[in-house]
Amino acid sequence: MIYYKEYKSPIGKLTLVSDGTYLIGLYIDDQKYFLENINEVMQRNDNLKVFKNTEDWLDKYFAGLKPDIKDLKLKLKGSDFRIMVWQILESIPYGEVITYGEIAKKVAKIMGKSKMSSQAIGGAVSHNPISIIIPCHRVVGVNNALVGYAGGLDIKKKLLDFEKNTK
């Protein structure tokens, strides 16, 4: 069974999704690819421990306290390539950004390739199922251009500005 709960945040409604033990999704309302990785029927459940822990994490995040991603039980569903990219996103420090090209270089090195397409990285980043916690909003284009965010560029800017002001 897959469960969900809604969370009211300073950037709008978020939908938390769990398999009962792990957080498998965190979606910004109206984001592109909303619930894309969920193929089962979902049931509302406001009492799961994983949701309470996620809400506590988000409360701390939006209070500027920089909670640790390791405090949450996450389970990523996706191709090996996407999961590799999402794991790189997890390592981007609070308040900092990285370019798609920089991630492409890291992935190429891991895969033993001479290069990797930034567009391929962009595709993986845009399908991140656990927004905010796995900080895809911290990925920018060349010269720190705000490009590509499934939750909308206005939300990306709000998150980056928020982190910059609480760094």
* Candidates 88, 133, 136, 159; catalytic one: 136
Measured at the alpha carbon of residue 13, what is the angle toward residues 22 and 66, in degrees to the nearest 5?
60
- Tell which phi-psi region holds residue 144, choosing left (phi > 0), alpha (psi between -120 and 50) or beta: left
Q: How far is CA 135 from CA 47, 111, 112, 117, 128, in A?
A: 25, 22, 25, 20, 9
Q: Who's near 164: CB < 8 A, 6+ residues apart?
A: 95
Active site residue 99: no
List residues with catalytic annotation.
136
